[in-house]
Structure 1
């Protein structure tokens, strides 16, 4: 079988003997109705657990629209126009609306990146800003002790509208919903407090009830209320195939249920070799983002197996603390020990990689320097086929193989 795996803005070819393939985890076939902007408009007309946005917003109110940064595939340029039309129906003025890019712990945007995210017309007609962790308002504390410190443009708004795409998240359960606030527009200390719960067993992909990270996130919005969300689910071509709008929890849960019908993949057994791609740009911009595909792949690989992680990582590590942990650790296991005693945002990603290394070898197909990759306990390759040939020789001609072309989205679960 010949496959093409996303890699940066292009693809990489892979050929696997048919008899060795256990599964190729592509999205399930589901019935799709409207798509793209038409589906977004339908969701806005049919909000879940809420009145229409045009009935909620009032003329003269200061409105903050929180949307994703450049590391996310959220199609803000497509989603924003129908949303802004709803606000116009409510009599809201352009000068009262601010689009806030939720950076979380990521780097600020260039002007060109902001324009690309929302489109020239919106960028030139509306105020568009990055969240600023240095200018936040303290709005409360969750029961778990997480400070709710929110960037001023959002904290001081009369109405808060959160956008996002829903996919699996390796410890928050799913992306989307209240994540636009926490960690989206929060301080590093707040994010660190929330994410420290990732080491708890219930903090896992596809988990909502009892997930301490997700519960903490959603309690944060009791301090910083969200008036309306508009979330989308994308197919493997990053096309909107479902939109949900309305209440920050109820609409989000409806989106999560649809995601499961699309991307939850049952498998008969784990494989000796798992080949996983983050799906290409922008998801594989750096190793910090590419790690998400690895964390889904760990559910499909046998103990002692090999994961071939495919991601361009052309911007390097993507986060300073993550880089420091990865490049200074004496052993991979030392990062597992360290995170239990000294949780640090950024270090949590390093520990997540190290936890996979406890049970499997990781081959990284990337644009990173091979010496650097070797120093961070991964085996470097420039081509996925070369990496596969290495793993195939290692595990033998009877090796079973699972391929995950959209690893950041698809979540394997062994039947039973």
Structure 2
């Protein structure tokens, strides 16, 4: 027997398992971490991919808008934002001519305290900060419609500046291919209707994890951002982190080319070959904030689905201290009761929140999902989970009573990051 640990909220859950049953403990590939963060930030922006170095782009007296991640995405913005802001000062840009827009997408508004925590007290005390709230229609300007019919409404705080600097981190995304890059703007700083139409393409079979070419969600986002970018200066600063939230590599430059190079590195870091699909997968999102609610947990559910056999079981170790994360998600599950019914309604009337209901429940057509969680038990049942428990042992017993004796397991302690595949 061997003891295994899984991150859970800001703590952990443990279980002893028969080591001979564990086919693989899937983790991010081991890469050396960045030791000197300020040095690497400057290296990235002065040796960018696909464009001129930052000092040839930014001129004295110009205005800059930074886009930063909200709390649902770990970015460590507080580490690189002071370096970027101070460097802009050296290039002749004053604090009063810079501001930050937080890319909320359709997520909840950030408090002032959360904004300060995100970028650090020094930067927060110097720069104006704004939430991009998708439902405040008056905050958005129209830039045309994509060939797929998505109306492009982008936050006005990105419009009247000389440069927009897109920051954030990159991981795989279950229907947009990859995070980072253009996603800072669309969906990050787009209006609700823009996000709604773009996300409706997730129902297309060509939308998927790690796919860009032919992926309608990704291509529509790229086209939408290109409409906004016409005549504008966009500069990318994206990083890739390991499971301990340490920086592995930084990428800067052209928002398309630099992102493409970074995505290849993401595949190297997070991709993992497994011998076969297992009877049972135990997956942790990696703790807070990735298991803050069901809405965020779903990404780990998708990764875990890559490692479980048809008819098997997945145990999700996810605290979900903020519940479901979406009233619409809850209501769609409760009212419709099956992934087939949810999809049918989405095809007629695509709604944000309801799309997450489909993203969550469609996975249950392959395997049963059990939760180790603080989520309300009735809510878990409403969302079609096979059970919700306090311990991994309880969840494992429930799984075995339904699928039979477990003879193979795959463990995913970094489940929000790692993408298993059978070769």
TM-score, length-scaled by structure 1:
0.96
> Could you list the per-position Cα deviations for residues 98-133 of structure 1 after superposition, in whole angstroms to 9, with x for gaps in the alignment?
111011000101111111111111111111111133
Among residues 351, 354, 362, which one is paired with 1:347 in the alignment? 354
The range that moved more, 288-297 or 311-320, is: 311-320
Taking the aligned partners of 2:406 and 2:152, their CA distance within structure 1 comes to 53
Cα deviation per residue 1:383-410 (whole Å; 9 max; x = unaligned)? 2232123324544445211111111111
* Pairwise CA distance, 1:87: 1.3
Q: 1:389 matched to which residue of 2? A: 397
Q: CA deviation at 1:354?
A: 1.5
- Is 1:171 the counterpart of 2:188? The answer is no
Q: Is residue 2:373 matched to residue 1:369?
A: no
**Equivalent position SS for 1:82:** helix
**Partners of 1:230 and 1:351 in 2: CA distance:** 32
Aligned partners of 2:203, 2:419: CA distance in 1, in Å?
19
Name 2:26's counterpart in structure 1: 25
Supply the distance in 1 between the matched residues of 2:309 and 2:98 (Cα, whole angstroms).
Answer: 51
Moved more, 41-50 or 170-179: 41-50
1:129 equivalent in structure 2: 130
SS of residue matched to 2:164: strand
- Partner Cα distance (1:40, 1:60) in 2: 22
- Distance (Å, rounded) in 1 between the aligned partners of 2:236 and 2:305: 31
Number of residue pairs aligned between Structure 1 and Structure 2:
415
Asked if the contact 1:277–1:407 (Cα under 8 Å) also holds between the matched residues in 2, the reply is: yes
> What does residue 47 of structure 1 align with?
48
Aligned to 2:186: 182
Query: Aligned-pair distance for 1:174?
Result: 0.6
Q: Which runs of 5+ in 1 are unaligned?
A: none
Query: By how many angstroms is 1:33 displaced?
Result: 5.9
Q: Give deviations 1:322-353, integer Å, cap 9, x for gaps.
A: 22212322334322332233221111111011
Look up the match of 2:278: 271
Alignment of 1:65-76 (within 5 A): 65-76=66-77
SS at match of 2:333: helix
Does 2:418 align with 1:414? no
In the alignment, the residues of structure 2 paired with residue 369 and residue 55 of structure 1 have an alpha-carbon distance, to the nearest angstrom, of 54
CA RMSD of aligned residues (A): 1.6
Structure 1 contact 392–399 (Cα < 8 Å) conserved: no
CA distance in 1, matches of 2:250, 2:62: 26
Q: Does 1:2 align with 2:3?
A: yes
Residue 357 (structure 1) aligned with residue 361 (structure 2): no
Work out whether 1:60 is the aligned partner of 2:68: no
**For structure 1, which segment, 23-32 or 367-376, has the greater mean C-alpha deviation from structure 2 after superposition?**
23-32
Residue aligning to 1:338: 345
Q: 2:214 aligns with which of 210, 213, 234?
A: 210
Please give the secondary structure, in 2, of the residue aligned with 1:227.
Answer: strand
- Residue 166 of structure 2 is matched in structure 1 by 162
Which runs of at least 4 in structure 1 moved beyond 6 Å after TM superposition? none
Question: CA separation in 1, counterparts of 2:323 and 2:80?
Answer: 30
Q: Which moved more, 1:399-408 or 1:168-177?
A: 399-408
Q: 1:35 to 1:262 in 2, by over 3 A?
A: farther
User: Is residue 291 of structure 2 the alignment partner of residue 284 of structure 1?
Assistant: yes
State the Cα deviation string for residues 354-398 of structure 1 (Å, max 9, x = none): 111112111011111112212221111122232123324544445
Give CA deviations for 1:199-252 in whole Å, capped at 9, x if unaligned.
112211111111111111111221112520100000110011111000101111
Shift of the alpha carbon at 1:158?
Answer: 2.2
Alpha-carbon distance change, 2 to 336 in structure 1, aligned in 2, over 3 angstroms: farther
Residue range with higher mean Cα deviation, 41-50 or 109-118: 41-50
* Kept after mapping to 1: 8 A contact 2:183/2:221: yes
Report how far residue 35 of structure 1 moved. 5.7
Q: Per the alignment, do residues 336 and 191 of structure 1 end up closer, same or farther by CA in structure 2, a change over 3 Å counting?
A: same
Please give the alpha-carbon distance, in whole angstroms, between the structure 1 residues aligned to 2:247 and 2:181: 16
Show the counterpart of 2:86: 85
- Post-superposition offset of 1:278: 0.8
Structure 2 unmatched runs, 5+: none
Corresponding position of 1:257: 264
Contact 2:100 2:127 in 1 (8 A): yes
C-alpha deviation, 1:34, in angstroms: 4.9
TM-score with structure 2 setting the length = 0.94
Q: Do 2:311 and 2:403's aligned partners in 1 also have CA atoms closer than 8 Å?
A: no
